[in-house]
Chain A
Amino acid sequence: MTRKISFSQAINEAMKLAMRKDENVILLGEDVAGGAAVDHLQDDEAWGGVMGVTKGLVQEFGRDRVLDTPIAEAGYIGASVTAAATGLRPIAELMFNDFIGSCLDEVMNQAAKLRYMFGGKAKVPLTIRTMHGAGFRAAAQHSQSLYALFTHIPGLKVVVPSTPADAKGLLLSSIFDDDPVIFFEDKTLYNMKGEVEEGFYTIPIGKADIKRKGSDLTIVAIGKQVHTALKAADMLVEKGLETEVIDPRSLSPLDEDTILSSVAKTGRLIVIDEANPRCSVATDISALVADKGFDYLDAPIKMITAPHCPVPFTPVLEDLYLPTPEKVLHAVAEMIGDESFVAV
């Protein structure tokens, strides 16, 4: 049975199901319940996260399992690492991925490396949920997409869902995975609705999803940009091109086979990644195809990314920062060497 729920509700539901299934699953972070130790506050009045994504969990599971933390990321993200290594299965919320600067050591040097440094004698079943993404008018320190930073680090898994159904199944996989997973949630997707199965289900980490089948062009798009790709694909139909849209869903591990098979079929690749362009997932996927799929290519690979600048506040500039379907059409025009292609 499916029903339409939002991206935010799907994530909430995944956590609820995980916490019901396993009492070792706890949730901790800044105001994930909200208003701890405020006597007059009823649990149903508690925030449930700054965006309300964790709302209601404290009512069902209590404050021993839904822990409000001080605004001290190194402290509670670091604590989550060993809480995981000693028998719990924590979901730690790093409110905005931009705050990783305050706890990078705990993620990069502790969570990611513990197992390897200890010769396989430890496991760290930790999920760090974190918001990313521009378009929320949240300015430079609350808007970046930093998944490339984590994809670079061995020992971490990186998941970036684009739909409510994927978010639920992938979050459940992440929580019950025995390795540390960084789970990215685009804040501008929270209200997006989609059909989601009821009950417990998982989607394997490391398996891309072909969101649209096509034979003329492959677009690999990350997170919210999957929707940019799908809009562009609709527009390209009018130009006589059938586009295949691939959503990697996880960046580490990366489903190389699905990407390469698609490019083998279409001969053309565009990567849409709203992160900054240098040393990005876009360059990584492009390098993968240039290395292992060069013979498949009929045209140079195109990357549509943010420019090499921080996310601006003013809507006029922020809209320029992000990829758009129009930018995709321009890239296709360059690819096929026909400028008239984009003329309206």
Chain B
Amino acid sequence: MTVMKSETKSITREKAKWMYEKMCEIRQFEDKVHEIFSKGVLPGFVHLYAGEEAVAVGICAHLDEKDYITSTHRGHGHCIAKGCDLNGMMAEIYGKATGLCKGKGGSMHIADVEKGMLGANGIVGGGFPLAVGAALTAKLKKTGAVAVCFFGDGANNHGTFHEGINLAAIWKLPVIFVAENNGYGEATPFEYASSCKNIADRAAAYNIPGEIVDGKDVVAVYEAAGRAIIRARNGEGPTLIECKTYRNYGHFEGDAQKYKTAEEKEKHAKELDAISKFRNYVLSKQLVTEKELEEIEGKVIEAVKNAVEFAEQSPFPQAEDLLKDVYVSYE
């Protein structure tokens, strides 16, 4: 099995602009949450996606609102890539009534079912069967939708990995299982926790394709996802894509990350940074101009700033909201 490098000019100019914008939005959003969290403004705890942008964006670039994704505790990036509203997301993280989940879910449960975003998930490995269920609906109702299951390297040792992928494989469901291997499950290195060398190697056990991709290369992710989605939409069943990536921040905010080396952090922040890499790519291919990229960067900064203002100015839920939405009906 080889690491797939980007090989074609499959990305249109419009797509390239969208991808660059979404990657910048994720980075800007997460850097801002990092900053706000350190001031003690936010309740609870947050897990940031910065560094892994190429994965969510490269995959979601193929999806529309009828397609589904399941996410993880590190879900902000998936939300943004799937088109969730930044204001609603930020307000949710603040616990405000205007949040996407009216402040009831928070960072770990942000969802927008109408956009096919079936929720960040506080349970590691929780997403496998959930993606399978959404794909089952797609298959039985013949909607043509696919379901993407984003999961971390930590989840690849969970029992639901086996049950979910096996079920999707025997029923030939339109699922793309996307491993975001950032090298650490919490503070434990992937190599220690997993008996396999690569997560994608495990695909062989389910008789489905397994592909390893440079998760810092959004073009490579986009191309691998394209192949998997064609398979899925053609009724050929699931694919397992492993994206080798890295998280720039800790497992959660406040994690001192002593298990990382200074060298690897530096290397990933600079030399291997996915956004810089894609920026250079689109310029070298003359897909987008420098001026256009700068416009996008300015727009993103503004959008995230507005999201923070929106969240800060929004009201908290009322006491009577405590008991709302436990059930549709309960008499």
Contact = CB atoms under 8 A, between A and B. Distances in A.
A106 interface: yes
Contacts of B256: none
Contacts of B118: 82, 85-86
Given A79-B132, A86-B68, A178-B329, A120 B140 contact: no
- Most interface-central of A69, A82, A109, A155 (chain B CB within 10 A): A82
- Name the interface size band of chain B: 35 or more
Contacts of A204: 331
Nearest to B120: A117
Contacts of B138: 86
A115 interface: yes
A86 B133 contact: yes
Contact of B326 (A77, A87, A105, A115): A115
A83 B132 CA distance: 8
Given A115-B326, A115-B327, A206-B331, A78 B132 contact: yes
Contacts of B167: 69-70, 72, 75-76, 79
Given A26-B140, A80-B133, A82-B130, A74 B163 contact: yes
A178 B329 CA distance: 8
B105 interface: yes
Nearest to B131: A82
B137 A122 contact: no
Interface in A83-140: 83-88, 105-106, 109-110, 114-123
A172 B268 CA distance: 56
Contacts of A253: 330-331
Interface in B137-169: 137-138, 140-141, 159-160, 162-164, 166-167
A237 to B, nearest CB: 35
B231 interface: no
- Most interface-central of B105, B129, B167, B331 (chain A CB within 10 A): B129
Given A70-B167, A85-B118, A117-B105, A122 B130 contact: no
A82 B140 CA distance: 13
Interface residues of A, number: 46
B129 A114 contact: no
A75 B109 contact: no
Contacts of B129: 74-79, 81-82, 106
A75 B136 CA distance: 12
Contacts of A24: 141
B29 interface: no
B101 A117 contact: yes
Interface string B275-300: 00000000000000000000000000
Given A74-B129, A81-B130, A115 B325 contact: yes
Given A74-B159, A78-B129, A123-B328, A118 B101 contact: yes
Query: 5 closest A-B pairs (Cβ-Cβ)?
Result: A78-B129, A75-B163, A82-B133, A120-B325, A119-B102
28 contacts: A70-B163, A74-B129, A75-B129, A78-B133, A79-B167, A82-B133, A82-B134, A82-B137, A83-B133, A85-B118, A86-B68, A86-B138, A88-B136, A105-B126, A116-B325, A117-B104, A118-B119, A119-B101, A119-B325, A120-B325, A121-B113, A155-B326, A155-B327, A157-B327, A177-B329, A178-B328, A206-B330, A206-B331
Interface of B: 68, 70, 99-105, 109, 111-114, 118-119, 121-123, 126, 128-134, 136-138, 140-141, 159-160, 162-164, 166-167, 170-171, 324-331
